[in-house]
Amino acid sequence: MNPVFEKDIASLRWVSPRFLVLLCVMTALLVFLGRLSPAGMGFEFVLGAVLLLWTFMDLRHIRNMFFYLHLHLRPASMDGQIKQSYWLSQRLISYDAFAYGLIYAVAWLASPRLFFIGGALVCFMLALRHFLLANRVPRVKA
């Protein structure tokens, strides 16, 4: 659903080299920031933004894998042809990201740690991004 990975998704790759490179860059950036200022408030904010965003995305991926696993194990559990539009897919991601942002914001209110507000803000930004992406025409048709 991310335009950066459209070609990889359309080609049904199991592993995206672009994703692996970005994952390594983000991990290196976190390690660098942690070494530079481990007790700094900026590091806690960035750490929360990255880890809580990854949590959101990974849980969505895991849910989707189990959804398709269950469909594979019991094909009769869903019948007919189902076609989901790009617009709907983007809006659903937007709503999920917003919901996670709310959960992280409540956690921040309960424990005013920058870790949680970092996660909340990045999820709210992701929600807005996918809400706006819903109106775009994808470059690659799956």
In which band, very low, low, confident or very high, does the pLDDT at 9 lie, cut at 50, 70 and 90? low
In which band, very low, low, confident or very high, does the pLDDT at 30 lie, cut at 50, 70 and 90? confident
| C-alpha radius of gyration, the chain, whole number | 17
Quote the tokens at residue 14: 């199991």
Query: For residues 127 and 105, is the Cβ–Cβ distance under 8 A?
Result: no
Quote the tokens at residue 110: 């309960």
**Range with lowest mean pLDDT among 3-7, 88-92, 125-129, 132-136:** 3-7
In which band, very low, low, confident or very high, does the pLDDT at 6 lie, cut at 50, 70 and 90? low
Report the mean per-residue pLDDT for the chain: 86
Minimal CA–CA distance to 133: which of 62, 100, 85, 65? 85
How far, CA to CA in Å, does 5 sit from each of 22, 24, 67, 95? 11, 16, 21, 20
Query: For residues 139 and 3, is the Cβ–Cβ distance under 8 A?
Result: yes
In which band, very low, low, confident or very high, does the pLDDT at 106 lie, cut at 50, 70 and 90? very high
Give the whole-angstrom CA distance, residue 110 versus residue 98: 18
pLDDT in tens, 46-79: 889 999 998 998 898 889 889 889 988 998 888 8
Query: For residues 124 and 53, is the Cβ–Cβ distance under 8 A?
Result: no
